[in-house]
C-alpha cells in the first residue's frame, strides 16, 4: 500500500495500480466514509463493510494469483521468520 501511495503522489497512476489496486478504492471512499460517519452510523457501517470486503477480496485474489511473484516477493530474512527461528 505504501508503494502504491508513493507512485500515486508521483502521478504514476499505472504503477500505483500495479502495486496495489485498492489505493483507488480508498481514495474514492474517504469522503463518503467521513460524511456518513458524522451523519448516519448505519450507512457508515455498510460502506465500511463494503470497502473492507472489496479490500479483502483483492488481497485474497493477489495472494492466490500473484504471490510470491513481483510485486509481492517473499523475503527469506523477514522479521516474523527471524522470531520463529529464535523461538525454535
HEC string for the chain: CHHHHHHHHCCCHHHHHHHCCHHHHHHHHHHHHHHHHHHCHHHHHHHHHHHHHHHHHHHHHHHHHCCCCCCCCCCCCCHHHHHHHHHC
pLDDT in tens, 10-40: 999 999 998 889 999 999 999 999 999 999 9
Number of structural domains the chain divides into: 1
Which domain does 36 fall in, by range?
A: 2-87
pLDDT in tens, 38-68: 999 999 999 999 999 999 999 888 888 877 7
- pTM value surpassing 0.75: no
Amino acid at each position: 500500500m505504501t508503494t502504491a501511495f508513493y507512485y500515486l503522489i508521483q502521478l504514476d497512476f499505472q504503477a500505483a495500480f500495479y502495486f496495489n489496486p485498492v489505493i483507488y478504492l480508498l481514495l474514492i471512499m474517504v469522503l463518503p466514509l467521513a460524511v456518513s460517519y458524522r451523519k448516519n452510523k448505519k450507512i457508515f457501517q455498510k460502506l465500511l463493510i463494503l470497502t473492507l470486503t472489496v479490500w479483502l477480496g483483492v488481497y485474497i485474489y493477489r495472494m492466490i494469483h500473484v504471490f510470491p511473484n513481483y510485486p509481492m516477493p517473499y523475503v527469506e530474512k523477514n522479521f516474523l521468520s527471524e522470531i520463529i527461528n529464535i523461538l525454535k
